[in-house]
Structure 1
Amino acid sequence: MMPDEAQAEHEDAADNGFREGIYVTDVGLTWVASRWDLPRALSPEDARRYLPESGPVPMWLHFEESAVEQFDRSKAARLGQDVQRLLRSPLPDKTIRTVWLGATHGTSDPAEYGMSARAWLERIEQAWLARVHRDDPAFVPLSLQPVVDEERCQTVVQVIRPVTERLSHAAEKPLYGIPVTGLVPALERVATEACATSATGCSFAL
């Protein structure tokens, strides 16, 4: 892309209220999980300004709203797509919980909120959809099924395996949250039974 074209694209995005940072690489559920350290990164003043004060559940559900506000429509829609594919997959609840715990460095446990992992995903989807409907009341999310592409799945598995030791160590000995065991096998199940892209994103969110 030529410099003038890039500048024009940037200006068009700004005119459309597009506030996505140019260095953002995570989208969808992976982006939400990557917010795990935000409370620690903010000053006490900014935390009071930007984060709900009524506990971790409202805080995490606030991130779903932020995903809609900070990304363009196609990337904001990715959050709902990721959640639907996990909910419609045959994955056991334990596997989903393990991957979510790993992606959030053990700082967000649905069990502590009195929910199963699937119930937690449903809450995430509801928060996301409610925020979308504020801008577009007629929006109807697509009914998506798990993406099971054998070639893509195996590619993702091959990407994960060389970093198995590093991922396992990061999950089992986190700096802040609770230890997570069995993360790599859980990621491989997500890749092969639900969505390879989500598994890649969650693994490298660590």
Structure 2
Amino acid sequence: MTGRQESYYLCYDGDFGLSGLAEAFALSPAPENARAALGLVTAKLDAYDRETPVDTFDHLSADQRSILGYDTSHDEWGYAEDLRDDVRTLVGSPLSDEAVQTVWRVAAGGVWDPAAHGMSTRDWLRCVEETCAARPPRRIPGRRPAPSRMWNARPPSADEVRDDVVAEIRSCRERPAGSLPSPDTLSALEEMAVHAHPELAFRLFLRALKVCSVRIDKERYDRFQALGDRFGYHGFLIDTGLDVAWPPIDTARRDAVWDFGLSCLAGQAHQEWSGSREDIRMAAEGDDVGQTPGSAAAVLLEDALRLLRSALPDAAVSALWSGASDWSGTGDGRDWLRLIADVCRERLREVVPAYGPAVAPARTELAGLVLREVRETAPTVADKVVSPHWRPVPATEVMDALEHVVTRIDPDLGFRLFLRVLSRLRVSLTQEQYDRYQAIGERFGYGEYHVCDVDYLIETG
């Protein structure tokens, strides 16, 4: 393979290359002949071209493109080139024709077997390579990276990951007799990891697991995601189509990378936001990579129920939302919370019908620490007003509501909303304050990118 310098998530939020092509075949009707099969290859490339038009960012400067996530180091790199790279790796490897055929046949879901049409799989792959080579070079704006990935992470060398990929492939041999993929498929994939390239072998291994509907436990899933991180994959490449035995929803488990719950919803609200059921629904469906489906709705529902069942006055609920979000169209604060709860229950009924919402006990042991931070900030915003041109709310009311949440409802929710208020009011922070916030976030179990949402507020110079 060509020693790619950038991470794959910069260009893809799902599968790509030969494994992405195999996915397209597995999801399509069986082609009648080789010509029709190559037509499906062309359709896959055309679909990617339509998804990322060549002139999308042509009007932007190099700096602007960099800010938006445009991959300036490989302007000519596109899907066809990644597919060609995979094909050349496999065709030029010392793998037997039988091994190449076995892996392709399984990864494509048995939809297209070149041997049934008088072609070897290597000859078929050469035709794929020629189809890619005939296309003009592409300039593709890279997508933003997934939240849990590092911008400048160096993709590992084959030697650094080969043993780990082989170990995952071999671990499938421990499954009960008759489980799929077959022993021949696993042997061929192991050969590919050793003698071709482990990164390509890992993607095709994942495709085989998905096609064969092999159920994966959470521990193995986490290992797959860790390997995907090292390769620079978007998390959805692992997730999409993989049958995972998810653990039960647990709202006390903090496994989101960024913000979550009501504070996350507040962060998504802006002046153009309608506050409709659809807007709330998007937040309720926003499970992070590695979270049990329904987790986002469960924690959002829990936050809403905490406030609904509290003695916090309606005006304070509205002030709290205004201070934490950039949208003030809630009307009655409790009616807004009831709508949120209703949408979350609807989502949970769909994905985990047996789930019974229960508000967990508050983490009161950290109330004193959070309260100190809120009270330290309150005097610095005493003269500020939230939404001064639309339903103005004095910042003092927002801070009073925050103090009520911290001391009488839930310090965790209070701290998350406090971080949102800091951003909303553009409160300048010292490095010492920020370090304290990070320490509190760690004690609450927040993800690594949660508190850093406010690091831009730190005073410099």
> Alignment partner for residue 391 of structure 2, among 165, 168, 178?
178
User: SS at 1:110's partner residue?
Assistant: coil
Of all paired residues, the percent bearing the same amino acid is: 25
Q: Which residue of 2 aligns with 1:48?
A: none
> Alignment partner for residue 402 of structure 2, among 165, 172, 187?
187
Q: Which residue of 1 aligns with 2:211?
A: none
Post-superposition shift, 1:137? 2.7
Aligned-residue RMSD, C-alpha? 3.1
Q: 1:75-114, aligned counterparts within 5 Å?
A: 75-105=296-326, 107-111=327-331
Instruction: Decide whether the 8 Å contact of 2:275 with 2:329 is kept in 1.
Output: no
Q: TM-score, normalised by structure 2?
A: 0.34
Unaligned runs of 5+ in 1: 40-50
Instruction: Decide whether the 8 Å contact of 2:363 with 2:412 is kept in 1.
Output: no
Q: Deviations over 1:3-28 (max 9, x none)?
A: 9766326479532349xxxx962110
**Residue 128 in structure 1 maps to residue 349 in structure 2:** no
Which structure is higher in RCO with an 8 Å CA cutoff and minimum separation 6? 1
Q: 1:32-181, aligned counterparts within 5 Å?
A: 32-37=265-270, 39=272, 56-58=274-276, 61-71=277-287, 72-73=291-292, 74-105=295-326, 107-111=327-331, 116-142=332-358, 144=359, 147=362, 149=364, 151-168=365-382, 172-174=385-387, 177-181=390-394
Instruction: Decide whether the 8 Å contact of 1:153 with 1:192 is kept in 2.
Output: yes
Instruction: Decide whether the 8 Å contact of 2:228 with 2:234 is kept in 1.
Output: yes
Change (3 A) 1:155 1:17: farther
Q: TM-score, normalised by structure 1?
A: 0.70
Instruction: Decide whether the 8 Å contact of 1:30 with 1:202 is kept in 2.
Output: yes
Q: Deviations over 1:164-184 (max 9, x none)?
A: 2454555x0547643212111
Larger helix proportion of the pair: 1
Q: Which residue of 2 aligns with 1:45?
A: none
Structure 1 range deviating more: 160-169 or 28-37:
160-169
**Residue 25 in structure 1 maps to residue 238 in structure 2:** no
User: SS at 2:343's partner residue?
Assistant: helix
Structure 1 range deviating more: 63-72 or 151-160:
63-72
Amino acid at match of 2:392: P
Amino acid at match of 2:226: Q
Amino acid at match of 2:239: N
Change (3 A) 1:124 1:178: same
Instruction: Decide whether the 8 Å contact of 1:88 with 1:146 is kept in 2.
Output: no
- Quote the Cα distance in structure 2 between the aligned partners of 1:91 and 1:36: 22
Instruction: Decide whether the 8 Å contact of 2:267 with 2:324 is kept in 1.
Output: yes
- Quote the Cα distance in structure 2 between the aligned partners of 1:94 and 1:88: 15
Instruction: Decide whether the 8 Å contact of 1:86 with 1:146 is kept in 2.
Output: no
Post-superposition shift, 1:126? 0.3
Change (3 A) 1:68 1:117: closer
Instruction: Decide whether the 8 Å contact of 1:148 with 1:194 is kept in 2.
Output: no
Q: Which residue of 2 aligns with 1:43?
A: none
User: SS at 1:37's partner residue?
Assistant: coil
Q: Deviations over 1:71-103 (max 9, x none)?
A: 233344211111111111122212211101111
Q: Highest CA radius of gyration, 1 or 2?
A: 2
User: SS at 2:281's partner residue?
Assistant: helix
Q: How many residues align?
A: 175
